[in-house]
A = this chain, B = another copy of it.
Amino acid sequence: MNQIIETIMNHRSIRKFSDKPLTNDQIKTIVESAHRASSSSNVMAYSIIGVSDQEVKDKLHAISGHDHVKTNGHLLIFCADLHRIEQLDEVERSEAFQENLESTEQFIVGTIDAALAAQNAAVAAESLGLGICYLGSLRNDIEAFNDVLKAPSHVVPLFGLAIGHPREIPDIKPRMPLQAIYHENEYIPFEKQKHYIQEYDQTMKDYYESRNSNNKQETWTEQINQKYQKPTRMDVGPFVKSKNLNKR
């Protein structure tokens, strides 16, 4: 196993950081790593907003509710960004141009571009001995999330990546057996995934029971059921459309 595979396999989300800021060199290395990820047709339909200002972190913390949004070494926000293209002086503002920008296809492109860059940043940070945690919780109030960062039309802030010096190293969380996730040559019917999901339910129950902190009795299926029984972030769809993205 080489160092890279080892780093990847060793991933766990870190939710307690010291407040020691990353050095400029560390930030540079992480952001340049993000920047080297593949981008669909070299469009680079994403932006990264690095948050070092404690006031901005505190505002974002009020949205997310997680302590690691305000206490970390650095915070990166990843956005789908078609604004840069929309604003170019030299493009012809045809009907087709507008239709493309506002399509679901281009919103997918921006979302994937942002996520590929983010995962490079995550792996790079972990390779430097730092911890990371993704923050979808910033979408708890996507309008406020957007306003804090002053993102214009055709930009959707998607998620954060908190980076820092870990104050604790939790266990690696077990994943769904690979046999349910990885299919060969065609999609495996659900009936054939079922067995592995049941196996995972037992694994997660055992894992939660044996955990040192925050132990509980819950299967994965029970967690999913609970999570999906309350309409959550239903304003994200209309918000994205208000940004003139994902409209058709």
Contact B5 A3 (CB under 8 A): no
Instruction: Kindly specify which of A15-23, A37-45, A62-70, A163-171 makes contact with the partner chain.
Output: A37-45
Inter-chain contact B104/A246, CB cutoff 8 Å: yes
A92, B52: Cβ atoms under 8 Å? no
Q: How far is the CA of A99 from the CA of B230 in the complex (A)?
A: 9
Given the known A-B contacts A5-B33, A41-B227, A88-B197, are A105 and B182 also in contact in the complex, defined by CB atoms under 8 Å?
no
Bound Cα distance from A232 to B103, whole angstroms: 9
**Which chain B residues border A240 with CB–CB below 8 Å?**
104
CA distance A139 to B133 in the complex (A): 31
The 8 Å CB contact of A123, one of B44, B120, B128, B155, is B120
Kindly list chain B residues whose C-beta atoms are within 8 Å of the C-beta of A41.
Answer: 136, 227
Chain A 1-17 interface mask (CB, 8 Å, partner B; 1/0): 11111011101010000
Known: A48-B183, A104-B236, A111-B115. 5 other contacts (CB 8 A): A4-B7, A90-B222, A103-B231, A103-B237, A115-B116
In contact, B92 and A152 (Cβ under 8 angstroms): no
10 pairs from A and B in contact (CB 8 Å cutoff):
A5-B124, A11-B36, A11-B37, A35-B182, A36-B175, A42-B173, A49-B187, A56-B185, A103-B231, A115-B119
Known: A44-B181, A48-B182, A105-B234. A228 touches B96 (CB 8 A): yes
Which residues from B are CB-within-8-Å of A151?
187
Chain B residues near A9: list those with CB within 8 A.
Answer: 32-33, 36
Kindly identify, within residues 87 to 132 of chain A, every residue whose CB is under 8 Å from any CB belonging to chain B: 87-92, 94, 96-97, 99-101, 103-105, 108-109, 111-112, 115-116, 118-120, 122-124, 127-128, 132
Residue of B nearest to A155 (CB): B187
Task: Flag if A181 contacts B224 (CB, 8 Å).
Answer: no
Closest beta carbon of chain B to A221's beta carbon, Å: 5
Residues in B with CB closer than 8 Å to A53 are 185
A212 interfacial contact with B, CB 8 Å: no
- Assess whether A211 is interfacial by the CB under 8 Å rule: no
A43 engages B187 (CB within 8 Å): no
A111 partner residues in chain B, CB cutoff 8 A: 108, 111-112, 115
A161 → chain B, closest Cβ, in Å? 9
Kindly provide the distance from the CB of A91 to the nearest chain B CB, expressed in whole angstroms.
4
